[in-house]
Structure 1
Amino acid sequence: MAQSSRQVQTQAQQQIQTLSPQQILVVKLLELPAVELEDRVRAELLENPALEEGKEESAGDEYTDATDTEPNSEDGGDTNYDSLSDYLNEDDIPDYKLQENNRSRGEQAEEIPFSDTTSFYETLKEQLGERNLSERQRELAEYLIGSLDDDGLLRKSLDSISDELAIYVGIDATIGELEEALKTIQDFDPAGLGARNLQECLLIQIRRKIEQQPSSPLLHTEEAIITECYEEFTRKHWDKIQQKLGLEEEPFRQAINEICKLNPRPGASLGETIGRNMQQIVPDFIVDTYDDGTINLTLNNRNVPELRMSRDFTEMVEEHTRNKANQSKESKEAMMFLKQKMDAAQGFIDAVKQRQNTLITTMQAIIDLQRPFFLEGDESLLRPMILKDVAERTGLDLSTISRVSNSKYVQTNFGIYSLKYFFNDGYVNEEGEETSVREIRRLLKECIDNENKKKPYTDDELTEMLKEKGYPIARRTVAKYRQQMNIPVARLRR
Structure 2
Amino acid sequence: MLKQSLQQKMLQKLSPQQIQLMKLLQLPTVSLEQRIKEELEINPALDEGKENDEEFEEKEEDYEERDDATEAQEDFDFSDYMDDDGTPDYKYNISNHSKDDEERQIPLSGGKTFHERLENQLSLQNLSDAEFKIGQHLIGSLDDSGYLRRELSAIEDDLAFTQNIMTTEEELLKVLRIIQQLDPAGVGARDLQECLLIQIHRKDRNKLSIVFATHILEEYFEEFTKKHYDKIKKNVEISDEDLKAAIEEILRLNPKPGNSMNESAKSVQVVVPDFNMVIKDGNIEITLNGRNAPELKVSREYKNMMQTYSESKKTDKSQKEALMFVKQKLDSAKWFIDAIKQRQGTLINTMEAIAEYQKAYFLDGDETNLRPMILKDIADMVHLDISTVSRVVNSKYVSTPYGTFLLKSFFSESLSTDSGEEVSTREVKKILQDFVDAESKKKPITDEKLSQLLRDKGYNIARRTVAKYREQLGIPVARLRKEL
TM-score by length of 1: 0.70
SS of the aligned residue for 1:298 comes to: strand
SS of the aligned residue for 1:287 comes to: strand
Corresponding position of 1:227 = 218
Corresponding position of 2:62 = 83
Aligned equivalents of 1:416, 1:193: Cα separation in 2: 37
- Please identify, of 172-181 and 420-429, the stretch whose mean Cα deviation from structure 2 is larger: 172-181
- Please identify, of 293-302 and 125-134, the stretch whose mean Cα deviation from structure 2 is larger: 125-134
**Contact map agreement 1:34 1:284 (CA 8 A) in 2:** yes
- Shift in CA distance, 296/447, structure 1 to aligned 2, threshold 3 Å: closer
Taking the TM superposition and a 5 Å limit, the aligned residue runs for 1:280-429 are 280-289=269-278, 292-293=281-282, 295-323=284-312, 325-429=313-417
- Which digits, 9 at most, give the CA deviation of each residue in 1:319-368, with x for residues without a partner? 21111x43112211221121112111211121122112222222222333
Counterpart residue type for residue 197 of structure 1: D
- Shift in CA distance, 220/266, structure 1 to aligned 2, threshold 3 Å: same
Deviation at 1:463, TM superposition (A): 2.4
- Which digits, 9 at most, give the CA deviation of each residue in 1:139-167, with x for residues without a partner? 98888766543334343567877998999
- Which digits, 9 at most, give the CA deviation of each residue in 1:374-418, with x for residues without a partner? 454444443332222322232222111111111222334443322
- Which digits, 9 at most, give the CA deviation of each residue in 1:23-57, with x for residues without a partner? 111111111222222222222223223223x2146
Aligned equivalents of 1:374, 1:118: Cα separation in 2: 40
- Please identify, of 162-171 and 429-438, the stretch whose mean Cα deviation from structure 2 is larger: 162-171
Deviation at 1:22, TM superposition (A): 0.8
SS of the aligned residue for 1:184 comes to: coil
Counterpart residue type for residue 383 of structure 2: G
Aligned match of 1:438 in 426, 430, 434? 426
TM-score by length of 2: 0.72
Corresponding position of 1:37 = 32
**Contact map agreement 1:411 1:417 (CA 8 A) in 2:** yes
Counterpart residue type for residue 306 of structure 2: V
Counterpart residue type for residue 392 of structure 1: D
- Which digits, 9 at most, give the CA deviation of each residue in 1:118-145, with x for residues without a partner? 87845887899899947989x9888876
Aligned match of 2:235 in 219, 244, 247? 244
Aligned match of 1:202 in 185, 196, 207? 196
Corresponding position of 1:183 = 181
**Contact map agreement 2:50 2:296 (CA 8 A) in 1:** no
SS of the aligned residue for 2:291 comes to: coil
Aligned equivalents of 2:397, 2:300: Cα separation in 1: 36
Matched, 1:27 2:16: no
Matched, 1:149 2:147: no
Taking the TM superposition and a 5 Å limit, the aligned residue runs for 1:121-140 are 121=112, 133=124
- Which digits, 9 at most, give the CA deviation of each residue in 1:173-227, with x for residues without a partner? 975456434422234xxxx45544212333355456x44xx66544443332222
Corresponding position of 1:99 = none
Gaps of 5+ in 1: 1-5, 68-81, 90-115
**Contact map agreement 1:150 1:272 (CA 8 A) in 2:** no
Counterpart residue type for residue 191 of structure 2: N
Corresponding position of 2:255 = 264
SS of the aligned residue for 1:186 comes to: coil
Aligned match of 2:458 in 459, 470, 481? 470
- Shift in CA distance, 479/184, structure 1 to aligned 2, threshold 3 Å: closer
Q: Report the number of matched residues.
A: 436
Aligned equivalents of 2:417, 2:110: Cα separation in 1: 49
- Please identify, of 376-385 and 153-162, the stretch whose mean Cα deviation from structure 2 is larger: 153-162
**Contact map agreement 2:276 2:286 (CA 8 A) in 1:** yes
Corresponding position of 1:51 = 46
Taking the TM superposition and a 5 Å limit, the aligned residue runs for 1:447-462 are 447-448=435-436, 457-462=445-450
Aligned equivalents of 2:369, 2:51: Cα separation in 1: 45
Gaps of 5+ in 2: 69-106
**Contact map agreement 1:125 1:142 (CA 8 A) in 2:** no
Deviation at 1:440, TM superposition (A): 1.7
Aligned equivalents of 1:259, 1:442: Cα separation in 2: 31
Over aligned residue pairs, what C-alpha RMSD do you find? Answer: 4.6
**Contact map agreement 2:24 2:339 (CA 8 A) in 1:** yes
Aligned equivalents of 2:165, 2:287: Cα separation in 1: 58
Deviation at 1:287, TM superposition (A): 1.8
